[in-house]
Amino acid sequence: MKTYKHINEFTALPNAVVTIGTFDGVHLGHRKILQQLESLSNSSNGETVLLTFFPHPRLVLQPDDNDLKLLSTLQERIHLLEAAGIDHLIVQPFDTTFARFSAHEFVRDVLVGKIGTKILVIGYDHHFGRNREGNFKNLEELAPIYNYNLVQIPEHDVHQMAVSSTKIRQALLCSEVHLANELLGYQFEMSGKVVKGDQIGRTIGFPTANIQIAESYKLIPASGIYAVRIRIDKAIFNGMLYIGNRPVIGGGELRIEVNIFDFNADIYGKEVSIALVDFIRPDQKIDGLEALKQRLEADKIAATKALSLR
């Protein structure tokens, strides 16, 4: 997959098969669109192009709204789209200038002028352009003018999947890991750098790696204990993850800490990825470190069992 950081880096193709969207999480619903894109590309001897945006338009147009949290960071999204087999990925910086493009200007100058769109694949409810004024009807009216074919993913097909990024976000915020993973088609991941903590865990036999996630827009699932798999470089380890404000020692800022089973290497400063496999229990106030140790021993048994089943 070739990745472009701006539409101006892209040279229009003779036979571009294109789709547009934020594709947060690249879930099963998105993949239905991508499969259609690939099928049309193969039958027309074309090349697939996905135009996406960063930052997310809502983060630019509603800067004071801190409620939107995304399933994937930009790098995670790029990785998922590459795995889906896209030929060309354009990551267009989204700003207030780009947001002022009218629907007609967007089709004429971007989709046709910059990309060379010959086939456009779009969801039934897609909106685009200034104030989201553009819709499928506009694209249909402009198709004969700008010589592209329009393919709609029907409402029935999308609803049949019963998948949306919103539904997945809600599942993760309600500790419904199995549902979220089922709708994603893979295990939800968080990636971050290992930083030094206060090392309380190692005093009770459960040393943890403290994970710092740089992207403030990344969704953090509900507080609690999770069975997880951890990727460090190219190696995969089992473990259990804690998300919470550590009420056992008086609370504080939200922490993300992972106990990696049968592991004692120094990984400070390393980037790691954590895949959620199962939810073990919610965060809770536990009286004292000895009681916490006993609780964590039970959690490890439960996490080990969950990991063996999945």
Confidence of residue 158 (pLDDT cuts 50, 70, 90): low
Nearest to 240 by CA among 223, 258, 256: 258
DSSP helix/strand/coil, 209: strand
- Cα-flanking dihedrals φ and ψ of residue 228, to 5°? -140, 165
Angle at 230 between CA 229 and CA 231, to 5 degrees: 125
Angle at 295 between CA 201 and CA 232, to 5 degrees: 45
Side-chain half-sphere of 58: how many Cα atoms within 13 Å? 10
Give the span between the Cα atoms of 295 and 259, in whole angstroms.
Answer: 14
Nearest to 231 by CA among 187, 177, 191, 278: 191
- Residue 288 contacts by C-beta under 8 Å, 6 or more apart in sequence? 248
With contact defined as beta carbons under 8 Å apart, do 221 and 177 qualify?
Answer: yes
Q: Given the DSSP bridges, would you call strands 224-232 and 209-212 parallel, antiparallel or unpaired?
A: unpaired
Give the span between the Cα atoms of 123 and 103, in whole angstroms.
Answer: 16
With contact defined as beta carbons under 8 Å apart, do 272 and 211 qualify?
Answer: yes
Q: What is the pTM of this model?
A: 0.90
Gyration radius (Cα) of the chain, Å: 22
Distances (CA, A) of 208 to 79, 135, 190, 236, 251: 27, 49, 16, 16, 17
Torsion, Cα 126 129 130 133, to 10 degrees, reads -50
Mean of the per-residue pLDDT values for the chain?
91
Instruction: For 261-295, write each residue's pLDDT tens digit.
Output: 999 888 999 999 999 999 999 998 888 788 888 99
Residues paired with residue 4 on neighbouring β-strands, in sequence order: 90
Confidence of residue 152 (pLDDT cuts 50, 70, 90): confident
DSSP helix/strand/coil, 243: strand
Q: Which two tokens stand for residue 309?
A: 């089943």
Give the span between the Cα atoms of 231 and 192, in whole angstroms.
Answer: 11
| Number of separate helices (H) and strands (E) present in the chain | 11, 12
Length of the chain: 310
Residues paired with residue 218 on neighbouring β-strands, in sequence order: 70
Nearest to 22 by CA among 127, 113, 115: 127
Distances (CA, A) of 58 to 53, 95, 217: 11, 10, 11
Is the pLDDT assigned to residue 156 strictly greater than 60? no
Residue recorded with tokens 């004024």: 133
Instruction: For 165-215, write each residue's pLDDT tens digit.
Output: 889 999 999 999 999 999 999 999 999 999 987 767 677 778 899 999 999
Residue recorded with tokens 């380890």: 237
Mean pLDDT of 49-76: 90
Instruction: For 106-132, write each residue's pLDDT tens digit.
Output: 999 999 999 999 999 987 678 888 878
